[in-house]
Amino acid sequence: MKHYQIRLYNSTDFDQWNTFISVAKNATFLFNRNFMEYHSDRFQDYSLMVFDEDKLVAVLPANKNENTVYSHQGLTYGGLVLNSKAKLSSVISIFKGVLQFLNENSIEKLVLKTIPNFYLDYFSDELEYCLFITQAQLNRRDSLSVIDLTKPYSITKTRKESIRRGKKNSLIIKEELNFELFWNEILIPNLDKKHQVKPVHSVEEIALLQKRFPNFNVYDKDKIVAGTTVFCTDKVAHPQYVSGNSDKNELGSLDYLYHHLITEVYKDKHFFDFNNSNEEQGTKINEGLLFWKESFGAKTVIQNFYEVQTKNYFNLNDVLI
């Protein structure tokens, strides 16, 4: 079994990391250090870099909390990021090296959240196989609602009526660089009222990265009534934040907005990802939210979350025969 050199990421690796992410077979912009650094004040970074002699062949975006390392908790998905030529045999050796490195540095557990395959340009389930061999425990499973825009999909009659309501009310949709209006007047008050939480990202963070995160506001005359901030990759449009005021059902504001995004703004993307409707670590589903997403034609895609004991790196010794 091949031996790889593994070490912690440090700030001098910034350019090398980003160059690797730009050509990796299973990466998106979320793994770029420009994005990850905005979480540096909230998480203790423990990202790993894997080398074959002097060549960088894999990275693990991660953070540490006590004796556990997490596939970065500030990111929607993660896991082992691989170069474009990575094969299963090499990934087995790489993952063994990662677990052994963690174990030798007093890390008892690695918690991983996988990247859904529809975000990828190439098949990349090598990590799933390694997790099976190392007896990883599936501790959470989220059900994402996704529209495949390359195939026919149907919008329900009820949803079409609400979309017509938005048109009848002469609602105006604007893509705007100013995030403060949506954030301060709609999103933050609603999150606080419904869930007593704040957005994961601050408005300042989103504004600095606005080229990746277009913001769409809906106006009833001159008053903002709804909005969303969308995370975009080459293949996927994913509304990260969405909210409307108390009149959203009467106005049809959110349905009107989403129909516009799906059928106009992002019609040339491969997928439209509504995200999950799960609560309580994936064990419960918000039925009303799920119904709303499926009424646009979304289908279910699963995202898995695992815990693996780092001492189980021994399990990978004899896989290749």
CATH topology match: 5-142+304-316 vs 151-269? yes
pLDDT of residue 204: 67
Structural contact between residues 286 and 193, judged by C-beta atoms closer than 8 angstroms: no
Fold classified for 5-142+304-316: Aminopeptidase (3.40.630)
pLDDT of residue 246: 84
Using CA atoms, how far apart are residues 237 and 78, in angstroms rounded to an integer? 18
Four-residue CA torsion sign, 258, 262, 263, 264 = positive
Cα–Cα separations (whole angstroms), residue 51 to 8, 17, 45, 84: 11, 12, 19, 14
Between 13 and 36, the higher pLDDT residue: 13
Containing 299, the helix (H) or strand (E) segment is strand 299-309
pLDDT of residue 117: 93
Residue 87 confidence class, pLDDT cut points 50, 70, 90: very high
pLDDT of residue 201: 66
Radius of gyration of the chain (CA): 21
Q: pLDDT for 159-214, tens place per residue?
A: 999 999 999 999 999 998 777 777 677 777 777 776 666 666 666 666 666 666 78
pLDDT of residue 212: 63
Decide if pLDDT at 319 tops 90.
yes
Assigned token pair, 195: 């869930």
Using CA atoms, how far apart are residues 8 and 274, in angstroms rounded to an integer? 34
Q: pLDDT for 191-200, tens place per residue?
A: 777 666 666 6
Architecture per CATH, 151-269: 3-Layer(aba) Sandwich (3.40)
Region 208-229: mean pLDDT is 83
Structural contact between residues 312 and 134, judged by C-beta atoms closer than 8 angstroms: yes
Region 265-290: mean pLDDT is 95
Average pLDDT, the chain: 91
**Domain extent listing, the chain:** 5-142+304-316, 151-269
